Amino acid sequence: MKGNSAMQKLPPYLFARIEKKLEKAQEEGVDVISLGIGDPDRPTPEHIIEAMARAIANPANHRYPTSVGLLSFRQAVADWFKRRFGVTLDPREEVVALLGSKEGIAHIAFCFLEPGDMALVPDPGYPVYSIGTILVGAEPYYMPLRAENGFLPVLEDIPEDVARRAKLLHLNYPNNPTGAFADREFFMKAIEFARNYDILICHDHAYSEIAFDGQKPISLLEVEGGREVGIEFHSFSKSFNMTGWRLGWACGNAEAIEVLTRFKSNVDSGVFQAVQEAGIAALSGSQECIEEMCAVYQERRDAVVEGLNRMGWKLNSPPGTIYVWAPVPQGYTSASFAELVLDKAGVVITPGVGYGQFGEGYFRIALTVEVERIQEALERMYQAIGKVEF
């Protein structure tokens, strides 16, 4: 029972070796500090939980939801989008609720790709862009994200025949795993590229709210022409510490949203309405919880950057996301360095190669544990490894 050819083509699980070691270390009683997983550690804000508690008691919410989502939910999205980005969305035509943005990102491939097509996928990147592509029998084209280009893909480097075969362009800024931001100029270039080759831009904006030092990431849809060629995926997971609730939305180009909605209405039956009510509370309530959370992540980011720089790194602080992306020292691969850090310091970091071949030579630290634990992790690394060279 091997599964079909698409399933057999899915990449192997790269963290298996580290996970085995982690299990063993924990069995031996080592106090392992995991900076591996990007899952927010703080609870969902109280007012959101209360809205859910009220909604759960309402029998109207016990029935099948619609796939597209409650109109009141889509209206709350549109209102939030207007306040946050100055963009007016039509909640009836330009917004669809998602069972977490991962669901929409995977399913968009089923809506727009077929065998022989290509999707342009950032590397390193969130694995779902290429996995969706592979599952429909289409082919990912990996666009390298390099430090010297600010971890932005160089669209001019994409071969002409690839651009012609491509139907989707996946982007994600603020970026997981590199922490990079994209500016308006980059989105303008991407929009022109998408127009020239008749490509749909899929912008994954999961980290739209996680930014430091007073920065505010922009939306693809606030850039001229963005809505003609693109859709944007949003998530409650990181903005409101709601990874377990499974709630997000896609918005933008009305035709693309209609196709995605039609696909979804055939494979799922939507998001539990009480969860959508919680989402409405999150979007229409005070956004102070986001500011507080960003302050927490910023303090943790500073602890990581200072700790690594003390050991010999020369990192600039990432402007957002819940990650620090750093090169491995001389003489190591991303996997061998991650193993060393686990063996010698009892600290889990993620090898960059897990995010694609161009992630080789890097590792990722997630800012999802308390700052004291981060400081301890870096102190242990310093004691175990000392100064490093590049």
36 and 366 Cβ atoms separated by less than 8 Å? yes
Residues present in the chain in total: 390
| CB atoms near residue 95 (< 10 Å) | 26
Give the pairing type, strands 200-204 and 248-252: unpaired
Q: Please state the separation of Cα 359 from the chain's center in Å.
A: 15
Among 34, 67, 133, 237, binds ligand PLP (CB under 6 A): 237
Establish how many alpha carbons lie within 13 A of residue 136's alpha carbon, considering only the half-sphere containing its beta carbon: 24
DSSP output for 60-116 = GGGSPPPSS--HHHHHHHHHHHHHHH-----TTTSEEEESSHHHHHHHHHHHH--TT
Q: Give the CB-nearest residue to ligand PLP.
A: 100
For residues 256 and 202, what is the distance between their CA atoms, to the nearest angstrom? Answer: 10
| 170 binds ligand PLP, rule: CB under 6 A | no
| 126 binds ligand PLP, rule: CB under 6 A | yes
Question: Per the structure block, which two tokens stand in for 384?
Answer: 């175990």
- How near is the Cβ of 314 to ligand PLP at its closest, in Å? 26
| 350 binds ligand PLP, rule: CB under 6 A | no
Of 235 and 253, nearer to ligand PLP (C-beta) is: 235
- The binding track of 172-191 with respect to ligand PLP, each residue x by CB under 6 A or -, is x---x---------------
| 238 binds ligand PLP, rule: CB under 6 A | yes
Of 100 and 359, nearer to ligand PLP (C-beta) is: 100
Segment near ligand PLP (CB under 6 A); pick from 25-33, 234-242, 277-285, 344-352: 234-242
- How near is the Cβ of 238 to ligand PLP at its closest, in Å? 6
Q: If 0-12 CB within 10 Å is exposed, 13-18 middle and 19+ buried, where does residue 62 land?
A: exposed
| 352 binds ligand PLP, rule: CB under 6 A | no
Q: Map the footprint of ligand PLP across residues 90-109, applying CB under 6 A.
A: 100-102
Reduced to 3 states, what is the DSSP secondary structure of residue 171? Answer: strand
Of 45 and 307, nearer to ligand PLP (C-beta) is: 45
247 and 99 Cβ atoms separated by less than 8 Å? yes
Of 167 and 238, nearer to ligand PLP (C-beta) is: 238
Q: Total number of residues binding ligand PLP (CB under 6 A)?
A: 14
For residues 141 and 143, what is the distance between their CA atoms, to the nearest angstrom? Answer: 6
- How near is the Cβ of 336 to ligand PLP at its closest, in Å? 25
Among 111, 180, 206, 294, binds ligand PLP (CB under 6 A): 206
Would you tell me which residues interact with ligand PLP (CB under 6 A)? Answer: 38, 100-102, 126, 172, 176, 204, 206, 235, 237-238, 243, 248
